Structure 1
Amino acid sequence: MTTHTTTPARRALRAAALLTPAALTLLAATPALANTPEGWSNPEPVSGLDRLLVWVVYPLVVIGVVVLLASLPRLVHSAQRAPGVTEPAPAYDDESALDELLGAPTPAELDTPGEGGSATH
């Protein structure tokens, strides 16, 4: 097995390659730290309500509009799918009424022999 040893020149080159982008970024950001030019106006500070509108309310409105526009085709399609239905289907709490409606055999019909019920032969 071979061990790699680095020379001081290679270590310096590697450090320079890693630190150069950071140094260039800091140098490029220094003009952003400058003061406002003399001829420009100095605006008043923004109120808390304006910040709330810009950072919370406006994005929520935009998200709501996008969701509405995205779901609109599905809503229109489901409304066209069943045009005659104006009220929901009745809810059946009684299981026997539901079985009768679906044509399922009742427990009494299941126990009668000869009709494929649960009676032993």
Structure 2
Amino acid sequence: MVYHEEALDDIFVALAEPTRRQVIRRLGTGPASVGELAQPFSMTLPSFMKHVRTLESSGLIQTTKHGRVRTCTLNRERLALVDGWLADQRSLWESRTDRLETLVTQPKEPS
């Protein structure tokens, strides 16, 4: 599978911060307003909005505004990029460990 390295970089940068990972985890249960998402965190709303903007610019979430309420929705397709990349990495390493196991467990033929 071909990956867009820049997109993956943006996603991993966004997921590198615990607050943003918690927001993604919460949005996994369904859309929520910025106010609802910010509630569990002890930071100002402008500080929290920086996290929202980072998640939005990475494409992990989408926001819509209705009146004074901004609602965030998880973009599952963007998370699928990470899932696909991780699956490829897992496959690569499993094949390497399988080869290593074969090398270690197979008796060596005399020369």
Q: TM-score, normalised by structure 1?
A: 0.25
State TM-score, norm by structure 2: 0.27
Q: Look at both structures and tell me which one has the larger radius of gyration over its CA atoms.
A: 1
Which structure dedicates a bigger proportion of its chain to strand?
2
